[in-house]
Amino acid sequence: MAFELDIPCYAFTLRFQSGGQLIFPMLDPTAWHYQYPLESLAERYRTALQEKVLNQGNYLELLEEYQQGPFLRATLKVPFEEDPRGNRYPAFELEFDYFYQDEPDKCWGIVPVLGVESFSFDLPSLQDQLVRAVRLDFTRNRRLHQLKGLVEALWLEVNDLRQVPIKVKTFSPQELENSDVTDQVQLLDKAAVRMQVQKSVAYFREKELQQLINALKNPFNRNLLVVGPSGVGKTALIQELARQSPAAGIQNPFWETTASRLIKELTLDTGWQDNLVFLCREVKEKGVILFVNNLMELFEIGQYEGNAVSMAEYLLPFISRGEITLISECTNEERANIELKSPNYLSFFQIVQLEEPKPETATLMIRKKVSDLAQTYKVQLEDEAVLEVIRLNKRFTPYAGI
C-alpha cells in the first residue's frame, strides 16, 4: 500500500529594483525562474522527485532532499581591499542578506543573490566561509574588473524564503515491481501552469464575476464558457476568478494551458489520446480547475490522417460525466463555429456572455489598470497620455472589445 508523505519545498524570491521577481529552489541555486508561480515550481519539483527518485525505490535520496527548518536571516558584510594597481577601485565594503541554519556541530548558509553557499561547524566560522565564498565568486566572475559585473551583484534584493508543502508517495517493494507504478508519468505540470494572480486584473465586472463564482459552486455542471468580443476582457475575468475564488469558498487550484501546449506535451510515443486520458485522471484526482485559452482551438488540433476526432471532441466524455472542470473562452463567431462542428457540445457548459462596456466604463477600466501598472513599476503616467492612447486605439482598432 502506498504511503503519502508531506515534505516542504523551499524557494527564495528575489526582486529587481525596478520591479519583477525571480525565484529559485533552495536546493538548486542555478535554476532561476522569472515571474514564475511558486506553486508551479513546487509541482515540477514534486513530479521530478516522484518519477526519478521515489518511483525507482531510491528512498535514501529522499533524506538528502528533505530540508527541515527553521532558516534564519542575517546580514553579511564583505570587505574588499583596494585595487593592487591602485587605479580601478578603492577599498570598499558590501552587505548581502543570507540565510542560515544553525544546528549542533553543523551550520549551513547561503547568499541567495549570488547563489553561493557554505558549511561549517559554528556560526562565526560559517560567516568567514561565506565571506570567502563571496570573494571567490567575485574573482571567478571578474566582477571587479568592470562596473557591469558589480551592478549584477547588487541589482537584486532578497524578498523572502517561502515554503510550499508537497505530497509524495512511497511504495512497498511489491508495488515497485509493478511496472504501472514505476512507469507512471505526471503530465499536469508539463501540460499546464498553475495560475497565481496576486493583484486585481479585472475591474467593474462584479456582476459577471459573481455569475462565474455561482456557476463553480453548482454541484452538477461546473464547466464554464465566457463568450464576448475580442479584447473585451474574457481572459482577465477568468484570471480574476482564480484570484478571488479562495475568498469565495472555492479551494480548487486553477491551472492554465493552451491547445498548442496540450498537443505538444501530450504527443509522445503512443500519441496524444492515451496521454490525454492520463491527464484527465490526474486533473480529477487533484481537483484541478483547468482553464484552456480559446475553446475553438481545441477543435482545430488532434486530427490527422486516419483520425477525424479533435482533442475537444475527445474531451467530451470527461466533460459530460463531470470528471473534470473545464473553463474556456471564445468570441461569438467562434461559438457559432463550435455549434456547427458539434451541435450538442456547448450544452455541457454554463455560458457567461461578456458584453462590451460603455465608453465611460471602459475609460475607467483602462485608467484603473494603468494606475495599478504605474504603481507596480514605479512610474508616473499623465492622464492626458492615457486618454490619447484610448483615442488612438479606437481609431486604429475599431472592432476591439475595449
- The SS3 of residue 388 is helix
- Element (DSSP H or E) covering residue 204: none
DSSP string, 321-374: TTSSEEEEEE-HHHHHHHHHH-TTGGGGSEEEE-PPPPHHHHHHHHHHHHHHHH
Phi-psi category of residue 231: left, alpha or beta, with phi > 0 → left and psi -120 to 50 → alpha: left
Q: Please indicate, yes or no, whether the overall pTM of this predicted structure exceeds 0.75.
A: no
Strand partners, 157: 15
Cβ-count burial 16-25 (b if 16+ within 10 Å, e if not): eeeeebbbbb
- Cβ atoms of residues 222 and 394 within 8 Å: no
Strand partners, 33: 23
Q: What is the pLDDT of residue 157?
A: 85
Q: What is the pLDDT of residue 253?
A: 92
DSSP string, 136-153: HHHHHTTGGGSHHHHHHH
Q: What is the mean pLDDT of each run of 10 residues along the chain (402 residues)?
A: 83 82 83 82 85 84 81 92 78 91 88 90 92 91 80 83 87 72 71 88 92 90 93 93 93 93 86 89 92 94 79 93 94 94 93 90 87 81 85 79 65
Q: H-type helices in 196-255, by residue range? A: 206-216, 234-244
- Cβ atoms of residues 287 and 247 within 8 Å: no
- Element (DSSP H or E) covering residue 15: strand 3-16
Q: What is the pLDDT of residue 183?
A: 53
Q: What is the pLDDT of residue 135?
A: 92
Residue boundaries of the structural domains of the chain = 1-183, 188-353, 359-396
Handedness of CA 372, 250, 286, 160 (dihedral sign): positive
- Cβ atoms of residues 42 and 400 within 8 Å: no
- Element (DSSP H or E) covering residue 393: helix 383-396
Q: What is the pLDDT of residue 257?
A: 95
332: nearest Cα among 346, 311, 315: 346
Handedness of CA 317, 213, 279, 294 (dihedral sign): positive
Cell numbers describing residue 16: 529587481
Q: What is the DSSP letter of 92?
A: E
Question: What architecture is the 188-353 domain classified under in CATH?
Answer: 3-Layer(aba) Sandwich (3.40)
345: nearest Cα among 306, 310, 370: 310
User: How many Cβ atoms are within 10 Å of 97's Cβ, its own excluded?
Assistant: 16
Task: Report the Cα 299 to chain-centroid distance in Å.
Answer: 26
